[in-house]
Amino acid sequence: MNETLRTIHSLRTIHGDFSEREVSDADLTQILEASVRAANASGRQSYSIIVLDDRAKMKDLFSYQGSRALIYCVDFTRIMALARHLGHEFDNDHIIGFITGTMDTMLAAQTAVIAAKSLGIDSMVTNGLHRNSLDKVYEALKLPPTSCFPLATVVLGYPRQEPPYQKGRLDLDAVVHFGEYHRPTGAQLDRVVAQYDDVSRHIGLIPNWQEQGFRHYLDWFYTKWTGKPATDRVATGKVLEFQERLAKSGFWWPEA
């Protein structure tokens, strides 16, 4: 393995809080400069990154804290303001803009994760902001109400303690399709179930599902972790909050 692959293969999330040790400003700058090197559609870099160093604010907003937090927002505010500044008409506030913006944003976020690791700095990607009230998040970060959506947070820091193991991943043949899409057969599904069940691989979220009386890890996952499917397909709770927020931000156009 070369050094880049070694860095990528050594990635692991630090769950919970990081130690008090701070990431230096010089390292932060390097991480940010690497992050924006990620590919982006049409040279728009359709994101903004909000850097937090206030640990109490981090806790309040997304329940975790580290030395710094990089909040990656899909954001067309800048490119739209530039258009107006130069007397052009332009907007990207629709679902296609949102999806391409999401690609730019997450590529930049994961690039920050890899750059940080190469500097010996650990991270956690979290969607903790989404568990908070989105109105509160917009207010606390002064986010533009339109053309901007906070997507993911990369918390940076040094671990308080080393994770006991590195989380595993499914075999490549479970996720890679050559030539065209192949729906999984029953035998292939059984193999995936077995991969989740293999505790030595640490693919699932918890190790002690057997002690809790479950036959398979996924039996725990579908009954204890995930919510019941909405049979009537009527948006309520968080789904409704997201739909309303995306409509407010202009990315989702309610049907005429």
Which residue ranges make up the site for ligand FMN (CB under 6 A)?
A: 12-13, 15, 124-128, 152, 167
Tally the residues of the chain.
256
Greatest CA span in the chain, whole angstroms?
A: 65
- Minimum gap (Å) between residue 104 Cβ and ligand FMN: 16
Q: Which is nearer to ligand FMN, 83 or 163 (CB)?
A: 163
Both tokens assigned to 241: 């909050």
Q: Which is nearer to ligand FMN, 81 or 174 (CB)?
A: 174
- Minimum gap (Å) between residue 1 Cβ and ligand FMN: 17
Helices marked H in the chain: 3-9, 25-35, 55-62, 77-85, 95-118, 128-131, 134-141, 172-175, 186-197, 217-220, 237-249
Gyration radius from the chain CA atoms: 20
Q: Which is nearer to ligand FMN, 32 or 125 (CB)?
A: 125
Q: Which is nearer to ligand FMN, 83 or 170 (CB)?
A: 170
Q: Which is nearer to ligand FMN, 87 or 164 (CB)?
A: 164
- Minimum gap (Å) between residue 199 Cβ and ligand FMN: 15
Instruction: Decide the pairing of beta strands 47-52 and 122-126.
Output: unpaired
- Minimum gap (Å) between residue 72 Cβ and ligand FMN: 11
Identity of the residue numbered 45: Q
Distance CA 229, CA 227 (A): 6
- Minimum gap (Å) between residue 117 Cβ and ligand FMN: 11
Both tokens assigned to 45: 């870099």
